[in-house]
Amino acid sequence: MTAPQNLTRAACAARDAADPLAPLREQFDLPAGVNYLDGNSLGVLPRATAARVQDVVTQEWGQGLIRSWNSAGWIDLPRRVGDKIGRLVGAAPGELVVADSTSVNLFKVLSAAARIAQANDPARRVIVSERSNFPTDLYIAESVAAQHGMVLELHEIDAIPARLAQAADVAVLMLTQVNYRSGRMADMATVTAQAHAAGALMLWDLAHSAGAVPVDLNGANADFAVGCGYKYLNGGPGAPAFCWAHPRHADRFWQPLSGWMGHAAPFVFEPGYRPAPGMQRYLCGTPQVIGMSALECGVNTVLAAEPLGGMAALRAKSVALSELFIALVRQELAHSGLSIHTPLDPAQRGSQVSLGVPADGSVDGYAVMQALIARGVIGDYRAGDGTAAEPHLLRFGFTPLYTRFVDVFDAIQTLADVLASGEWREARFMAKAAVT
Amino acid sequence: MTAPQNLTRAACAARDAADPLAPLREQFDLPAGVNYLDGNSLGVLPRATAARVQDVVTQEWGQGLIRSWNSAGWIDLPRRVGDKIGRLVGAAPGELVVADSTSVNLFKVLSAAARIAQANDPARRVIVSERSNFPTDLYIAESVAAQHGMVLELHEIDAIPARLAQAADVAVLMLTQVNYRSGRMADMATVTAQAHAAGALMLWDLAHSAGAVPVDLNGANADFAVGCGYKYLNGGPGAPAFCWAHPRHADRFWQPLSGWMGHAAPFVFEPGYRPAPGMQRYLCGTPQVIGMSALECGVNTVLAAEPLGGMAALRAKSVALSELFIALVRQELAHSGLSIHTPLDPAQRGSQVSLGVPADGSVDGYAVMQALIARGVIGDYRAGDGTAAEPHLLRFGFTPLYTRFVDVFDAIQTLADVLASGEWREARFMAKAAVT
C-alpha cells in the first residue's frame, strides 16, 4: 500500500524541520535508542536538572546548611514554584502552592470542598466522580466521603450531566480533566458550569493537563484543583504535586492537614493553630527542597515555550502529533484488531492516544508493550476488563516539548512490525504478563 | 582562672584522637570554617549523597525513565529505607515505612490511634500532649481531635502522669521523646507503661531521637511512632519522614490518607480501596524517589556505626559531648547570666543542650546567635516567653557522627568571646531580631 504524501517518514521529518517548537527538545537529555512516548506517566530529564540538583545538594545544603532556608530561599519554594505552575493553568500569583503528593493534596482540597458544601447546604451529601477516574483519586474521595458522612458515587462520564440534574444532593463533582485510560478530555468551562448550575462545587485533577493542554482555572470559574509534578511538568520521579483553591474559598475553614507550614506564623511556635491567609494554609510539613528544586527545572522547560506561543502552541503541536498517530494507526494497523480508544475529535482528547486490544484475546497487550519497549519504543500498558467497552490498553503519550513527528511515525512502524512478526509471543515478553 | 585538666582544648583534642567513632566524621562533607552544632535542625551532607542523587537523576531517571520503577527498585524505596531506619529504632523489617512529611505521617497514625481508641472505649475522648511539644504536632492533633469529636489537652510534662491517673478518659498520649526546646528526654518504656496503665495508647514522635539516641519501639511496647528524616538521619532539607505502628495495630482500620500506594494491589487500578496488609497501608501517594534516595544515604551514615557499637556507642559519645558542653558552660560562662535549660541528668537529656538567656532582658539571644553564626559557630535560637520558666533559648545540638570534642570547646570559647566583647550588640546582628 502506498502511503499518502503526508504519512511518510520523509513528510514527518519535514514537519519536524519546519516546527518552530523543535528547539525546545534541546532542553532535555534523552537516552540514545529510545523513542519515549510515556511522558504522561513520567516526564523526561531536563538538561538543567542535574546541575541544579547538584547545586542544591552540594552548595545550598552542603555549604549553606541551615542558613539556606533563608539565604537560598528554600522557605519560598512552595510558593515560587507554585506561581510558575500557576502561569500554565490560569492561576494568579499566590493562588497555587506546591506541596506533598497529588493524593495528599486531593485530601486537603476535597476535605475543604466537603466542608464548604456542608456549610452551604447540609442536604448535599454526594461526591460524584467518574468510574474510571484514576484510582488514587477515588480512594481518597472514598475516605473523605466517609469522614464527612457523605457518599461517593461513580458514574460513566457521559451519565454525569443527567446525574447532576437528577436531584439537588451533589456536594462536589470531582473529575480528572484528561482520563488516564482513554485520554478523553473534558471541557473545563462547560463541565464546571454544569456543576455550578446543579449547585455543586467543581474539583479538577490536572494530572494529565498541566503542561499538556491549556488550562484556565479562573476563567472556568473552577473551585479547587490538584495536579502532578512528574508527568508533563517533567519534575522527576515522585516530584511534589500542587493544589489550588479559588480565592473565594481559600480563606474558608482550614484543611485537616494543618501542619506548621500552613500556620499564619510558623516560626513563632505557638501551641494553637491559626491558618495562614489564602493558599498558604494548604501547606503542611517542611518543603521537600530537593524535589521542589528539580520540579522547578521541569516547569521551566514548559515556560520556555512562552516566547514561542506558550501552551496554545504546545497544544497545537500536541493535536498534530495525536492526529498523525491516529492517521498512521488507520493506515498501518487497520487489520491488527487494535481499536482507537481515544476520542477522534481532538477537542475531546488530551495529549495521549490509547489503543484497545481485541476483546477476543487474540493479542496480549502486555506482551506487545514489552516487545515494543525491548525495541526502544516506550509507552505503557493499562489493563481493563478486556471487553470492547473497557479494553486492555496500549497508551502512547505525546509531549510536544520533545516528541517529534518522526517519533510518532517510527513508533507505529515498530508496533506494526511487532504485531506482524509475532515477536510479542516470545516467552520473555509473555512471562511477566501475570505480574501486571 | 586555670581550667581543670580535662577542660582544656588539648584535652579535648586528645579525646578526639582516642575516639573510636572519630572516623565516622569522614563520611561527611563539612564546610570549611564552620562549627556546626545544628544537626538537630538539619543534618549535614553525607559524602555519598551527591553522587547517589546524581546517579538517580541522570541514570535511573534520565536513562531508565519509567522502567526504573522496577529496574532501579524505586517502588521498594519506602520499605527498603524504612527497614534501615527500623534497625535504629527497634522496629522489625516491614514494620516501618518512609513517606511524606512528619506532619502528614502524624495525621495518619494519630487518626488511626483515635479510631482504635474510640472502638475500644468511646468514652475516651482526650488526646494528651505536652504544652511545649513541637507545634506542628499540636496543630495536627488539634485537627485530628476535632475530626473525631475529641479534645486536645496540653499539660506541662511533669503533670502528665497525674493527668493520666485522674480519669479514664484519655485516648492517646502523644509526646515527642526529646523536647525540641529543652532537649529533655522521656524514658520511652516508663512513659509508655504509664499510658497503658491508664488505658491510653502511646504515640511517639522520634524527630529528635532517631539516629541520636537508642530507641526500642517494640521493647517499649509503644503503639505508634513517627519521625523526621532531615535531622539526625542526615537525609537533606525536607527529606521524607517515617511512620511505624505496632503490628497489633497495623492491620486495623485504614488511615484516612488512603492513596494508591497503600492499596493492596496498586497496579490493578480497581475503583474501590482495599488497604494493603500491615504497614504498607500507611503509604499514600507516589514515593519521592530523589528525596528517599538522599535519605537512604543519610541513614547509611548512622548504620555505619553498627560495627563500632551502633546506637549505644553513639549515645555514649553524645552524652560525653553534652557533659563536656555543660562543664564548659559552668567554667567559662558562669557569670554570663545564661542558664542551662536542659536536664543535668544525662539520662533525661537528648543530644542537645539549650541555654536560656536572662529573664531580665540583658542579653538578646537572637543577636547572640547571629553573632555566633557570623563567627562560624552554627546553633539556633528559639524564642520563649522570656520568663525564667520558658526563656528564649540558644540551642546546640551534638551529632556524635561528626561533632568533635574540640568543636564543643571552640563553640564555648566563641560564645564567651561574643558575650564578653559585646559584639552581638552590633546593629547587623540586632537589626533582624524583630523578624524572629
Per residue of chain B (436 residues), what is the pLDDT tens digit?
Answer: 455 667 999 999 999 999 999 999 999 999 999 999 999 999 999 999 999 999 999 999 999 999 999 999 999 999 999 999 999 999 999 999 999 999 999 999 999 999 999 999 999 999 999 999 999 999 999 999 999 999 999 999 999 999 999 989 999 999 999 999 999 999 999 999 999 999 999 999 999 999 999 999 999 999 999 999 999 999 999 999 999 999 999 998 889 999 999 999 999 999 999 999 999 999 999 999 999 999 999 999 999 999 999 999 999 999 999 999 999 999 999 999 999 999 999 999 999 999 999 999 999 999 999 999 999 999 999 999 889 989 999 999 999 999 999 999 999 999 999 999 999 999 889 855 443 3
Query: What is the CATH number that goes with domain B73-303?
Result: 3.40.640.10
Q: Which residue is closest to A228 within chain B, CA to CA?
A: B286
Q: How far, in Å, CA of A99 to CA of A89, rounded?
A: 17
B374 to chain A, closest Cα gap in Å:
11
Asked if A357 and A344 touch (Cβ cutoff 8 Å), the reply is: no
Q: How far, in Å, CA of A283 to CA of B252, rounded?
A: 29
Q: What is the DSSP letter of B58?
A: I
Closest by Cα among A67, A85, A366, A80 to A210: A85
Q: What is the DSSP letter of A157?
A: G
CB count within 10 Å of CB B54 equals 17
User: Which residues of A are known catalytic residues?
Assistant: 134, 205, 230-231, 395
Contacting residues of A for B54, CB less than 8 Å apart: 50, 53-54
- Contact state of A62 with B258 under an 8 Å Cβ cutoff: no
| Fold classified for B5-45+310-435 | Aspartate Aminotransferase, domain 1 (3.90.1150)
- Contact state of B238 with A289 under an 8 Å Cβ cutoff: yes
Q: How far, in Å, CA of A160 to CA of B370, rounded?
A: 60
- Contact state of B45 with A57 under an 8 Å Cβ cutoff: yes
Residues 6+ apart with CB under 8 A from B136: A259, A260, A261, A285, B102, B103, B106
Out of B31, B104, B134, name the one closest to residue A284 (CB): B104
What's the residue count for chain A?
436
- pLDDT at A3 (0 to 100): 56
Distances (CA, A) of A305 to A131, A320, B333: 35, 17, 60
C-alpha cell belonging to residue B270: 480497581
C-alpha cell belonging to residue A146: 466517609
What is the distance between the terminal CA atoms of chain A, rounded to a whole angstrom? 36
Per DSSP, helices labelled H in B25-126 are 47-55, 68-71, 77-89, 102-120
- Kind of pairing between the strands at B201-205 and B170-176: parallel
B251 residue type, one letter: D
C-alpha cell belonging to residue B150: 475529641
Asked if B387 and B215 touch (Cβ cutoff 8 Å), the reply is: no
C-alpha cell belonging to residue A309: 506561543
Q: Name the residue with cell 490518607.
A: B257
- pLDDT at A75 (0 to 100): 97
Out of A68, A69, A290, name the one closest to residue B294 (CB): A290
B380 to chain A, closest Cα gap in Å:
9
DSSP codes, A246-286: -HHHHTSS--S---GGGBSSGGG--SS--BPSGGGGG--S-
**Does A192 show up as a binding residue in the annotation?**
no
Q: How far, in Å, CA of B226 to CA of B247, rounded?
A: 15
Q: How far, in Å, CA of B97 to CA of B92, rounded?
A: 11
ipTM score of complex: 0.97
Contacting residues of A for B256, CB less than 8 Å apart: 107, 143-144, 147
What's the residue count for chain B?
436
C-alpha cell belonging to residue A206: 490536572
**Domain boundaries along the sequence of chain A:** 5-46+309-435, 73-303
**Does B135 show up as a binding residue in the annotation?**
yes
Q: What is the DSSP letter of B153?
A: E
User: Which residues of B are known catalytic residues?
Assistant: 134, 205, 230-231, 395
Closest by Cα among A304, A297, A409, A411 to A25: A304
**Does B342 show up as a binding residue in the annotation?**
no
- In this structure, the dihedral spanned by the alpha carbons of residues A340, A343, A349 and A354, taken in order and rounded to 10 degrees, is -20
Q: Name the residue with cell 564567651.
A: B416
Distances (CA, A) of B331 to B24, B188, B328, B334: 29, 33, 5, 6
Residues of chain A scoring pLDDT < 70: 1-5, 431-436
- pLDDT at B3 (0 to 100): 56
Q: Do domains B5-45+310-435 and B73-303 have the same CATH topology?
A: no
C-alpha cell belonging to residue B295: 535519605
Composition of chain A by helix, strand, coil, percent to 5? 50, 15, 35
- pLDDT at A436 (0 to 100): 35
**Does A286 show up as a binding residue in the annotation?**
yes
- pLDDT at A4 (0 to 100): 67
- Contact state of A260 with B136 under an 8 Å Cβ cutoff: yes
Out of A147, A273, A380, name the one closest to residue B139 (CB): A273
What is the distance between the terminal CA atoms of chain B, rounded to a whole angstrom? 37
Per DSSP, helices labelled H in B148-230 are 160-166, 188-197
**Does A258 show up as a binding residue in the annotation?**
no
C-alpha cell belonging to residue A310: 506558550
* Half-sphere exposure for A345 (CA within 13 Å, toward CB): 6
Q: How far, in Å, CA of B116 to CA of A28, rounded?
A: 50
Out of A66, A271, A287, name the one closest to residue B41 (CB): A66
Superfamily of domain A5-46+309-435: Aspartate Aminotransferase, domain 1 (3.90.1150.10)
Q: How far, in Å, CA of B95 to CA of B246, rounded?
A: 7
Distances (CA, A) of A131 to A17, A157, A395, B341: 42, 8, 19, 58
CA A289 to the chain's CA centroid: 22
Buried b / exposed e along B24-41 (16+ C-beta atoms within 10 A) = bbebbbbeeebbbbbbbb
Distances (CA, A) of B422 to A45, B191, B335, B362, B364: 52, 44, 14, 11, 11
**Which 3 state secondary structure label does DSSP give A360?**
coil
